[in-house]
Structure 1
């Protein structure tokens, strides 16, 4: 892992948030109807033609998958690898329906690091989770089993989840996971207020948006053998709010099995007084996050779901 280099990146690059989704509301509602009326086994059978369709007719996603898997696997990714990657994503997306409905009984879901979560919840200042587009972040519903009524909010760009969130709420009226929009005025205050009420918030840290609308700082680190820019926004926010940062991942292991892991990434409850020391701590925390992400991408390579030009290789070409 090379030493991080922080800078303000203002290049007008095409980013993932500008990539149009190929899915549509009718398709999502159709698979959701099949899932809820015919059951998970039947719905999972439908995933095979869906995954094959995307493999054949989504060249951008296919190209991105091949580039990522070649790095993560340490060998050229073949068609079977690409299919497995897309099918894993479809499986995780489908299981959101049952997570939203609270049907955790359908899954085998061992949890490691649960003591870290319990300690954080016991403090009564909420829990600040940092994850990635790796496996199922919705698996954090497992925490709610032992904490009925625990408020949960996902911090995200709402336009990227509007359709699926609408369907989930229609299918599961008790689905009470809120969305705190990020990138808007007042987002940080909304997160702070939610945490102060004892809520659990989840953010993703593996997508950096170099656009006019979001002028974030970023840190350049080696990730899967390639220099990659990572936003330091979630880490800086945690320091500003003086919170512990808990890394969370819900790895999909196939079938009905998920593996949920919690691990403390940083403790900003008493941040350093000196600006230089705070800056060093931010950079060290982002570097630690990237190291964990890279290790998990190699451990469970088909679990990372960023089907776009992540390393801007198309633009470079």
Structure 2
């Protein structure tokens, strides 16, 4: 950890980009080794104590997990939904399983109709059938579930390139981790600090070719405030949380259809859920902030619905509401 990162952890609460990813390299290799030797049975046997160790030693991640699960319970109670208690250990165990799913997908270990299926006909249609104009779409994804597995399947089984935008100064490390165990995973990954004209033009060309662009819409970039990056607040689990404005600004530049995508594990299968978000995003000069707020709120509602349904698959192990920054 650099001095700047250490200072950030002491003064304002650790940012998401400095938490689980720091220990990700050896964790990925260990999981992959278990899977290659004995498949999922061996992973299930050894993965449980490994998850326990991660939870025991990761103080900030453990605190963030407990806070999130408490708020899910509070929100479900407020909405009159049946309470579904999730233990902290189950949360970390699901995270370990998601890492394995990502690697297995890139290695060809997950197959459509066998291990992965569509949640409904609309999801299949949106993802498998070409758009009327032949152009690609912008896909809003999150760190809930295993959206990365969907990108792998799209490139392997459908031969459809999906460009993944990574807004993080540690993106090279992320790419290196995946390349160590699955070289194809780094294809079509773009590491950017800021979305410039050159990158936007390249993505526009990709959309015109019928390719897809995926961007995580649940995390604000590291040092967003000091760098001047845009963020917008929206209600999430009953409290205001910051969301990046970048995905919606990018959508307005690409002038293409936008969909949301979640891939969640249910038992032995991963279900892919895809829904329309907007035919086209327009940000008028007047009312721009209001429109960004509306879009962020719409996205937050969909993210919350999935979080309430699949809380153990929420993999943002940091102070999501940035409450420590306000103290």
TM-score range for the pair, normalised by the shorter chain length: 0.7 to 0.9
* TM-score normalised per structure 1: 0.83
Cα distance change of structure 1 residues 64 and 171 upon mapping to structure 2, 3 Å threshold: closer
Query: What displacement does 1:213 show?
Result: 5.6
Unaligned runs of 5+ in 1: 1-11
The corresponding residue for 2:324 is 314
The corresponding residue for 2:265 is 252
CA distances 1:23-81 after superposition (whole Å, capped 9, x unpaired) = 15344223212212322221232211111001211110000001111001228999961
- Preserved CA contact (<8 Å) 1:157 1:181: yes
Q: Which has the higher contact order (CA 8 A, sep 6+)?
A: 1
Q: What does residue range 1-317 of structure 1 map to in structure 2 within 5 Å?
A: 15-19=15-19, 21-74=21-74, 81-105=87-111, 107-112=115-120, 113-121=123-131, 123-140=133-150, 141-144=152-155, 147=158, 149-157=159-167, 160=170, 162-163=172-173, 165-175=175-185, 177-184=187-194, 185=196, 186-209=198-221, 210-211=223-224, 214-254=227-267, 256-268=268-280, 271=282, 274-276=284-286, 280-317=290-327
Cα distance change of structure 1 residues 174 and 57 upon mapping to structure 2, 3 Å threshold: closer
Cα distance change of structure 1 residues 64 and 144 upon mapping to structure 2, 3 Å threshold: same
The corresponding residue for 2:3 is none
Q: Distance in 1 between matches of 2:179 and 2:187?
A: 9
Q: Helix, strand or coil for the counterpart of 1:25?
A: helix
CA distances 1:186-217 after superposition (whole Å, capped 9, x unpaired) = 43333223323322221111112453563222
Q: Helix, strand or coil for the counterpart of 2:89?
A: helix
Q: Distance in 1 between matches of 2:212 and 2:68?
A: 31
Determine which structure has the larger helix proportion and give its number: 2
- Preserved CA contact (<8 Å) 1:238 1:245: yes
Per mean C-alpha deviation after superposition, the further-off stretch among 111-120 and 298-307 is 111-120
- Preserved CA contact (<8 Å) 1:100 1:168: no
Q: Helix, strand or coil for the counterpart of 1:202?
A: strand
Unaligned runs of 5+ in 2: 1-10, 78-82
Q: Distance in 1 between matches of 2:116 and 2:24?
A: 30
Q: Distance in 1 between matches of 2:274 and 2:145?
A: 14
Q: CA RMSD in A?
A: 3.0
Q: Distance in 1 between matches of 2:292 and 2:325?
A: 30
* TM-score normalised per structure 2: 0.81
- Preserved CA contact (<8 Å) 1:158 1:179: no
CA distances 1:207-250 after superposition (whole Å, capped 9, x unpaired) = 12453563222222221111112111101110121011110000
Query: What displacement does 1:161 show?
Result: 5.2
Per mean C-alpha deviation after superposition, the further-off stretch among 79-88 and 53-62 is 79-88
